[in-house]
Chains A and B, each alone.
Chain A
């Protein structure tokens, strides 16, 4: 008998069909990867299983876990099932934990809630589980709060909560998307081991073929609310019959191809020079003695795990914070020596595309005003009509329509918003554009399109790029040169192929090994 049986699951949200006749089986002890682009309905399917759906939804079909039909359960009975029989790990480790409860209390709560054991006993069991998910003993022994943990550690706590009661079914919904490559590999290994150890069935949801491959070889591919293809991952790679599968495979394959524009001549003076910059927050050093430059029409990658100091460097480059030591020069001028007019001229030379497409734009402004904001500041003499014309031209350049200028930001998807962010960066004709993990919130297909777009733009405009990323595939595809950061220091730098091919530093080797 199968552990999880879904029969003809259909779901509509506010009258819109988001799942259509989905049927799926998962055996005890087996693992199944559920892959699909964003919006394909894979997360909604997971939420349907545990029935955590919005109020305005209509669900039909049969959901059986271990032979028990969940559709007939009352909501109190469902509370018993969630946690006890089904454990779930969500994507975002930052919001999955309660910030004012210590982590051991949060794990212990699972035991007191479901098993009616004493508080002391619950704490004892919580410590065991936290130890099992390989959290350092120093974090387990003391009362620690989520803000003291890294993203990967928080995700381990979330996993501890999910597996605490040894559920029969473990659902992991993009559990590693927000994590860097090394942490991702560790978390995936842990999930795989835990599922094998407890004999639980594992439903692993992801848009990333590479991540799924580290957990299971069995796949179901979703597109537009339906399961379009099922089977072994290698077979699907070779002979995907469905366009949705083929597109996912192709996006994956492309990530390992070096596809950048010709290497720039290195004889021109560099556009940006960072000279021995160091910075500390409240006495804690964040970066130490960082020096590098970015050449004319060159693309540089700044690689490192979360907490390696990438963001601090980036904020220094943009003049948002002043480094405690050292200086940053763009075309020979620095932000903190400059007067107001010179500063404004400097601002025009460096622009940024942020990671989170949802907080990058003021929700109350129209696209025309949003995209032209830097231009309106840089060139106050421009008429509104000529600004509008610039905006429309740029919208076309980034693959949107000119009439989108009149719309508000909430009408755009994540990928479209990143296109708008690129348009906003391009409008002042900057010399350097910094990408702060600009594709990490996007699914593989959209990411691929955005990287293609950037490659095309680089081919026609002589702009320098700086990719700040933990995604080695992006660095490999988009940069000439990479700088590897670990704990606030540069541990290695050089041409991308050399560093990726023959890494000299141990940390780089681990980073590469983790990325597979």
Chain B
């Protein structure tokens, strides 16, 4: 059957594709060495030779934005994957079992929620040493209860529907009901949450980097660039603007994609 892809999905995919392409470009070509300091040319406003300007050490912002995307996107996407793979099965299981299993998992969720990502990151970096991995693990673990909650709440409401009772009376097993009826109906809620979590992860990674956890300087990433630009916002606003735009474009593109996917999945469309 021929399908018209919704505009939001197409435009989101184009923007996100462009972001990925630019980040990928950083592996083969860079306008400047992102780490090379050039004190005489510090805090230059955007110009043809430095399209995004330079920072307080004279490093090229454009090159840093390109390279910074590597860590920011890797952290956000890996943390999302951990959250989805961990949280969704927990939520599905809790909703389908109910009773004690459900209550125990809910308490477990509260427990994880009660540990800020910061603390988890500190714990992990204590064991494994600081690096992007702690950020991924910390944010990923923090994502698990988020997805478990969304999944459980939505799945429980689907379990109440008559079509589930009809499937049970036809002899369908719990597992097949979850796979055939519950999970597909959950996708819209998960997509929305996923888009939110990716944007949050990019910012959370910046927060971790700020206190010395997560990816270590001088390796640049968008969140930390934004963070360190704060003190110079009056003299060199471009330091904040360009990594900010990168984060904004990425999360905007992802929410467009999730919106579009929801439309594609909706039979009423």
Contacts and interface: CB of A to CB of B under 8 A. Distances in A.
A424 B166 contact: yes
A141 interface: no
Nearest to A375: B170
A364 B185 contact: yes
A510 interface: no
A364 B171 contact: no
B171 A354 contact: no
Interface stretch (A35-43, A102-110, A326-334, A341-349): A341-349
Interface SS of chain B: helix
Contact of A363 (B166, B170, B267): B267
A389 interface: no
A319 B163 contact: no
Contacts of A408: 267-268
Interface residues of B, number: 19
A319 B166 CA distance: 12
A350 B169 contact: yes
A354 B268 contact: no
A320 B162 contact: no
A360 B171 contact: no
A503 to B, nearest CB: 32
B184 interface: yes
Interface in B151-200: 160-163, 165-172, 180-181, 184-185
Given A408-B267, A410-B267, A410-B268, A360 B166 contact: yes
Interface centre among B166, B180, B185 (most CB of A within 10 A): B166
Contacts, number: 70
Interface string A384-418: 00000000000000000000000011100000000
Contacts of A361: 163
Interface string A358-372: 011111101000100
A373 interface: yes
A320 B165 contact: yes
A360 B268 contact: no
A351 B268 contact: no
B265 interface: yes
Contacts of A318: 165, 168-169
A347 to B, nearest CB: 4
Contacts of B160: 359
Nearest to B176: A377
Given A320-B165, A359-B163, A360-B163, A378 B170 contact: yes
Contacts of A350: 169
Contact of B162 (A360, A364, A410): A360
A66 interface: no
Contacts of B167: 373
A409 to B, nearest CB: 8
Contacts of B162: 354-356, 359-360
Contacts of A364: 184-185, 265, 267
Contacts of A423: none
A352 to B, nearest CB: 6
A384 to B, nearest CB: 15
Given A352-B165, A354-B162, A362 B181 contact: yes
Interface string A196-227: 00000000000000000000000000000000
Contacts of A352: 165-166, 169
A428 B172 CA distance: 14
Contacts of B265: 364
Contacts of A421: 166
A494 interface: no
Interface centre among B165, B170, B265 (most CB of A within 10 A): B170
A374 interface: yes
Given A360-B163, A362-B163, A364-B265, A347 B184 contact: no
A363 B160 CA distance: 14
Contacts of A344: 171
Contacts of B185: 362-364
B170 A347 contact: yes
Nearest to A351: B169
A319 B163 CA distance: 16
A377 B268 contact: no
A320 B268 contact: no
Contacts of B180: 362
Interface centre among A343, A363, A366 (most CB of B within 10 A): A363
Nearest to A318: B169
B95 to A, nearest CB: 16
B162 to A, nearest CB: 4
Given A364-B267, A408-B267, A424-B166, A359 B161 contact: yes
A129 B166 CA distance: 43
Contacts of B166: 352, 354, 360, 373-374, 421, 424
A151 B50 CA distance: 71
Contacts of A320: 165, 168-169
Contacts of B168: 318, 320
Contacts of B169: 318-320, 347, 350-352, 374
Contact of A377 (B161, B172, B184, B267): B172
Contact of A347 (B161, B163, B171): B171
A373 B162 CA distance: 14
Nearest to B171: A347
Interface pairs A-B: 3 shortest CB-CB: A374-B170, A347-B171, A408-B267
Interface of A: 318-320, 343-344, 347-348, 350-352, 354-356, 359-364, 366, 370, 373-374, 377-378, 408-410, 421, 424, 428
Given A377-B172, A408-B268, 8 more contacts: A319-B169, A350-B169, A360-B162, A363-B267, A364-B267, A377-B171, A408-B267, A424-B166
28 contacts: A318-B165, A319-B169, A320-B165, A344-B171, A347-B169, A347-B170, A347-B171, A348-B170, A352-B166, A352-B169, A354-B166, A356-B162, A359-B160, A359-B161, A359-B162, A359-B163, A360-B161, A360-B163, A362-B180, A364-B185, A366-B267, A370-B163, A374-B169, A378-B171, A408-B267, A408-B268, A409-B267, A410-B268
